[in-house]
Amino acid sequence: MVYQILEGSTVKSSFNKRIFIYFLGIVCPLLSLLILSTYNVMNICYNYPDLDNQLLSRWNREVDSLVKDFYLFDSNSLEDYIIEYNEKVPDPPKPSDKLCSAVIEAEKFDCLPRGLVTQDACTKKGCCYSESSGNVPSCFFPPAFQSYTYSSINRTEKELSAELTLKYNLFYPSVPPKVYLKAVFLTDSNLLVTVLPYPFPSMSEPYSTNGKTEESSGVTDNVLYDFVLDSNSTGFKVIRKSTKTAIFDSRDIGGFIYSNLFVQISAKIPCKHIYGLGEGRTDLPLSTNWTVRTLWNHDTVPTDGVNGYGSYPMYLCAEGNGLAHTVTFLNSFAIDFILQPGAITYRSVGPPLAIQFTLGPSPLQAVTQIANMYKSFMPPYWALGFHLCRFGYKSVEDIKRVWNSTRAAGIPYDTQWVDIDYMNNRNDFTIGENFTDLGKFVDMLHKNGMHFVPILDPGISGSEPKGKYPPYDRGMELDIFVKDSYGKKPLVGKVWNPVSTVFPDFTHPKVIPYWIEMLKSLYKNFEFDGIWLDMNEPSNFVNGSINGCPKNILEDPPYVPAVQGGKLKYHTLCMSAKHSLGPHYAVHNSYGVFEAVATNFALTQIRGGKRPLVITRASTFMAGTFAGHWTGDVISSWDDMAQSVKDIIQMSMYGVHLVGADICGFNGNTTVELCRRWQQLGAFYPFSRNHNTDDGIPQDPVSLNIVDSTKKALLLRYSLLPYLYTLFWQANNNGTPVIRPLFYLFPNDEASYRINSQFMWGDGLLISPVLKEGHTYVKAYLGNSIWYDMYTSAKIISNSSQIYALPAPEDTIPVHIRGGTILVMQEPNVTTTLTRQNPFHLKVALDGNNQAKGMLFWDDGDTNDGNYSTVYFGIINNTLMSCNDIRNYKIDRYINRIEIFSLNSVKQVTLNQKTNLQYNFNGTTNVLALENLKLDIQTDFNITWT
Ligand SMILES: *[C@@H]1O[C@H](CO)[C@@H](O)[C@H](O)[C@H]1NC(C)=O
Ligand SMILES: *[C@@H]1O[C@H](CO)[C@@H](O)[C@H](O)[C@H]1NC(C)=O
Ligand SMILES: *[C@@H]1O[C@H](CO)[C@@H](O)[C@H](O)[C@H]1NC(C)=O
Ligand SMILES: *[C@@H]1O[C@H](CO)[C@@H](O)[C@H](O)[C@H]1NC(C)=O
Ligand SMILES: *[C@@H]1O[C@H](CO)[C@@H](O)[C@H](O)[C@H]1NC(C)=O
């Protein structure tokens, strides 16, 4: 693996002299194998979803995998949640003062979470009471608090299973008298621990690990972890064997509670830095000062400390010494996490407890191991171009004006978007009076090699005249709307529609034909290329429904996480509303992903097998398999622009690679300078879209007169798209992230873990944006490495103890190529369609051993036909070699230019050991430039310089 071996300045390479001898024989397969192995290509199959009549069965498989792999609760009845168990257990004993006073502050775990804390209530639960300040709990568990005790433990090579018996009353409803714990040793680096009630209604025991015991490859002598139970204390411990560090130790710290409506576990964790637990506006790394992170999909302006649009109960923990692991809580209920110094508490409002660990050992390996639970989607090539949008276009003419001026300015620009303005009365699948010409406009875009994406809300108007609005009438016929708590009629809320709104149940099998039918009818009006899913948390302008919600335990569960509004139904549906797959209480956090699945399927069907672009606001695990994401209604402020770097880094940890913030900000008015800098930064978001609110000043680049700097940044982006696209393929194929924080590259350098204002594309390109008003330089961290300035080719041999001031004049965003990288680039044009017709060129940035490597993945960028090609490039001993590995797609483009940085002198350049090549060596910049090469990219070549 190339990614984790980069320690300090020694950029190790897999090339050596012995292997070079093979190269001279031009043994292409060997070269490709060698480079392939450095990219950790586990399997080079590249399968797009099939497009056939098997759609529904595929949907069933996807839903199955969502439900099983991520433990969505598969239960339709309220009763399943509230089981009255008959066994009686005693109340816990009151702990002694001596025991209580021995508990240090950092080891206080809340015994009355979000409850009314009185001394009486506290001691009744067997806990310690001592008033404290801030977020430190006043009522906390005594040491060695025993909720359950182990009654039986069995261990084999592949798994450990144990039965736990309830010891004391836990004061929550529906506490099972027995629970079953299973730890499955999946691989040397992956461990899955599940706890389920035993026996569990409607779920058989194998569900607890979903057959993972059978499919696990098991562990070898190289297993990275040990799983420790100690029969005297509730809980368990996971150890990293190499350092004996306890990476998760939940023994003896009380907070293990298992109720069917409340699951809590606390653990001591060894994190020097911790990331994740999104989505939400947070610092990076996360604060551990009694920080609460609440996960409950919610429509709100991203605000510190408030639950956001998505839910990802996963964290990456950096242990020090370059080691890291991930911990993922496979659960889709509302969740609170509490981070306190040295420990974490997890509280979800539903079962099971299922925790997956990946042990890396490097941060990048740990993230890649968890990302491999799902396959990220391959975006169409045009989706990597620049997108332009705003809320508040008045008409097609209005859009055309912006289109015209943006095109006339020569700004690279692939896709025009439209917000709800195009609809009639803001109703899905309708066209407003000023947008009847949208079809012609979109046809014109297509003729110009451009694309078009409209917005869509999940909510369907519930108050149109009968027979006049098929989306409602057909939905009623097919019976696919989310039902109210009584299960007979659709739940009625209110969103953008004038009177009322009903919500498709995206967990209902018939929603797929319904969604295809509706989107097809819209497609007849204008041939959209992608769909933008908004409001799918789902957002509701009333709480629950226009009729409120009934009183029941799901509406008022014993524990409500720290959600905005104080109630789970706040600005969403009633918790006891009914979906095909269960109550909204259980389905809420995955509603957006289910909508993304349906939309992805529908687009694929309607657009004749072309790859769809779906961008979703609400998301959870597996979103990245079907969609990209934008970070919602951010504010046009320097602070929110800086935040976006933290946001895209964290989303990439969740396997959502096509991600970006609204360039220049959504809410409020931008300034010219802010927007200029944001366009530069946004040129390096994987998903690069300028979008604006309806009451903001126009902020498209022409309106703000920031054309030159925007063009400069976007032309650079377009020239780099072959590299970016290849990274997306690697993400799809190997699980490696597209966007990376610097600590993936410098895991042994503690300083790198706090860098949150710079990011990388893969491991080859560093982006250091200007995030401060008035600045014309960036204070940058560069680790111990070698870098080349993208614009001047100047070389920096960097030292991690130093901060570098990178020049960033008004029109420039600092971008650096890491030594050891061969960037495959293309001459840019104003659309990706035109750019793809241009020749390629290579920029070669040598590392300390004068070596470098790179690759190109290429296909038609648009269809699902599965034909693609890969070309690998490597340099050793002053020879650049190319090797075509797979040639199923004809690339038909030359490599016309090669630039090699940082050579001392050049006397001769030969192609394939025979032909002398014309060259240009600049003794000042030390760049060797070969022009007009006309090298067919699909014919292997080598170029040697002396
Ligand atoms: C932690 O938060 C409290 C307020 O809740 C504050 O007084 C304290 O300074 C913070 N500590 C650190 C280390 O930031
Ligand atoms: C452990 O194995 C014994 C003997 O097969 C069995 O009776 C017991 O139920 C097992 N315990 C667990 C927790 O699986
Ligand atoms: C469990 O407790 C018993 C009795 O207190 C003690 O003898 C034994 O050593 C303990 N076991 C472990 C693993 O700590
Ligand atoms: C767009 O520009 C062309 C000329 O480049 C012009 O013919 C056309 O009228 C313009 N359209 C609008 C809506 O401004
Ligand atoms: C249609 O456009 C006209 C002219 O810009 C405007 O006055 C009218 O309000 C628009 N209609 C709607 C429904 O927005």
Q: What is the pLDDT of residues 386-409, one digit of tens each?
A: 999 999 999 999 999 999 999 999
Reported confidence tier of residue 717, pLDDT bands at 50, 70, 90: very high
Reported confidence tier of residue 64, pLDDT bands at 50, 70, 90: confident
Reported confidence tier of residue 77, pLDDT bands at 50, 70, 90: low
Q: Is 91 a catalytic residue?
A: no
| CB-based burial label for 534 (10 Å; 0-12, 13-18, 19+) | buried
Give residue 209's pLDDT. 57
Give residue 83's pLDDT. 79
DSSP β-ladder status, 662-663 and 688-690: parallel
* 131 close to ligand 5 (CB < 6 Angstrom): no
Mean pLDDT over 40-50 rounds to 29
Q: What are phi and psi of 796, to 5 degrees?
A: -120, 120
* Token couple for 844: 């070669």
Beta carbons within 10 angstroms of residue 395's beta carbon: 17
Say yes or no to pLDDT of 81 above 90: no
Give residue 256's pLDDT. 85
Nearest-10 Cα torsion for 116, 120, 121, 125: 150
Question: How many helices (H) and strands (E) would you count in the chain?
Answer: 18, 52
Asked whether the beta carbons of 802 and 779 are under 8 A apart, the reply is no
Asked whether the beta carbons of 174 and 201 are under 8 A apart, the reply is no
Give residue 736's pLDDT. 97
Find, among 151, 203, 214, the residue nearest to 181 by Cα: 151
The amino acid that residue 233 corresponds to is: S
From atom 1 of ligand 2, which residue's Cα is the shortest distance away? 154
* Region at 421 (left for phi over 0; alpha for psi -120 to 50; beta for the rest): alpha
Reported confidence tier of residue 84, pLDDT bands at 50, 70, 90: confident
Chain segment 625-649, per-residue pLDDT in tens: 999 999 999 999 999 999 999 999 9
| CB-based burial label for 157 (10 Å; 0-12, 13-18, 19+) | exposed
> How far, in Å, CA of 405 to CA of 411, rounded?
9
Ligand 1 centre to CA of 344 (Å) is 17
- Give the residue with greater pLDDT, 344 vs 201: 344
Give residue 37's pLDDT. 39
- Vertex 732, ends 726 and 738: CA angle to 5°? 55
Give residue 9's pLDDT. 26
* Token couple for 198: 């035993």
> How far, in Å, CA of 494 to CA of 462, rounded?
9
Ligand 4 centre to CA of 679 (Å) is 25
Give residue 51's pLDDT. 34
Reported confidence tier of residue 214, pLDDT bands at 50, 70, 90: low
- Which residues line ligand 1 at a C-beta cut-off of 6 Å? 134-135, 289
* 151 close to ligand 2 (CB < 6 Angstrom): no
Find, among 846, 883, 884, 820, the residue nearest to 23 by Cα: 883
- Give the residue with greater pLDDT, 686 vs 202: 686
What's 910's DSSP letter?
Answer: E
Chain segment 440-450, per-residue pLDDT in tens: 999 999 999 99
DSSP β-ladder status, 262-268 and 139-140: unpaired
Rg, Å, the chain Cα set: 28
| Closest atom of ligand 1 relative to the 133 alpha carbon | 5
Say yes or no to pLDDT of 518 above 80: yes
Say yes or no to pLDDT of 86 above 90: no
Give residue 39's pLDDT. 36
* Token couple for 313: 């109960």
Please identify which of the residues 62, 428, 534, 700 carries the catalytic annotation: 534
Percent of residues in the chain assigned helix, strand, coil, to nearest 5 = 25, 25, 50
Ligand 2 centre to CA of 915 (Å) is 74
Give residue 18's pLDDT. 32
From atom 11 of ligand 1, which residue's Cα is the shortest distance away? 289
Q: DSSP string spanning 702-764?
A: TTTT-HHHHHHHHHHHHHHHHHHHHHHHHHHHH---SEE-GGGT-TT-GGGGG--S-EEETTT
Cα–Cα distance list, 7 to 321, 548, 817 (Å): 11, 58, 17
Chain segment 11-24, per-residue pLDDT in tens: 223 333 333 323 33
Give the residue, out of 232, 236, 251, with the most ligand 3 atoms within 8 A of its beta carbon, to mutate for a pocket test. Answer: 232
Chain segment 587-597, per-residue pLDDT in tens: 999 999 999 99
Q: Is 226 a catalytic residue?
A: no
What is the biggest distance separating any 2 CA atoms in the chain, rounded to whole angstroms?
A: 90
Give residue 211's pLDDT. 61
* 230 close to ligand 3 (CB < 6 Angstrom): yes
Chain segment 157-180, per-residue pLDDT in tens: 889 999 999 999 999 988 999 999
Give residue 210's pLDDT. 57
Mean pLDDT over 353-365 rounds to 96
> How far, in Å, CA of 758 to CA of 771, rounded?
10
Chain segment 545-600, per-residue pLDDT in tens: 999 999 999 999 999 999 999 999 999 999 999 999 889 999 999 999 999 999 99
Cα–Cα distance list, 875 to 19, 255, 698, 819 (Å): 12, 56, 48, 12
The amino acid that residue 447 corresponds to is: K
Length of the chain: 946
CA 251 to chain centre: 32
Find, among 347, 345, 352, 148, the residue nearest to 260 by Cα: 352
Nearby residues of 346 by Cβ (< 8 Å), 6 or more positions away: 263, 264, 265, 266, 313, 329, 335, 336, 337
Asked whether the beta carbons of 450 and 442 are under 8 A apart, the reply is no
Give residue 11's pLDDT. 27
- Give the residue with greater pLDDT, 649 vs 233: 649
Say yes or no to pLDDT of 208 above 90: no
> How far, in Å, CA of 804 to CA of 813, rounded?
15
From atom 4 of ligand 1, which residue's Cα is the shortest distance away? 134
Say yes or no to pLDDT of 73 above 80: no
Share of the chain above pLDDT 70, in %: 91
Cα–Cα distance list, 604 to 507, 655, 889 (Å): 19, 21, 21
> How far, in Å, CA of 41 to CA of 572, rounded?
43
User: Three-state SS for 728?
Assistant: helix
The b-or-e profile of 12-29 (16+ CB within 10 A means b, else e) is: ebebeeeeeeebeeeebe
Give the residue, out of 396, 397, 401, 404, with the most ligand 4 atoms within 8 A of its beta carbon, to mutate for a pocket test. Answer: 404
* Token couple for 779: 């204070």
pTM: 0.93
From atom 12 of ligand 4, which residue's Cα is the shortest distance away? 401
> How far, in Å, CA of 294 to CA of 591, rounded?
17
Share of the chain above pLDDT 90, in %: 82
Reported confidence tier of residue 737, pLDDT bands at 50, 70, 90: very high
The amino acid that residue 370 corresponds to is: I
Give residue 46's pLDDT. 28
- Cα dihedral 128, 130, 131, 136 sign: negative
Chain segment 467-483, per-residue pLDDT in tens: 999 999 999 999 999 99
Find, among 437, 426, 440, 255, the residue nearest to 348 by Cα: 255
Give the residue, out of 289, 290, 292, 338, with the most ligand 1 atoms within 8 A of its beta carbon, to mutate for a pocket test. Answer: 289
The amino acid that residue 779 corresponds to is: K
The overall average pLDDT reported for the chain is 90
Asked whether the beta carbons of 939 and 911 are under 8 A apart, the reply is no
User: Three-state SS for 417?
Assistant: strand
Mean pLDDT over 920-926 rounds to 95
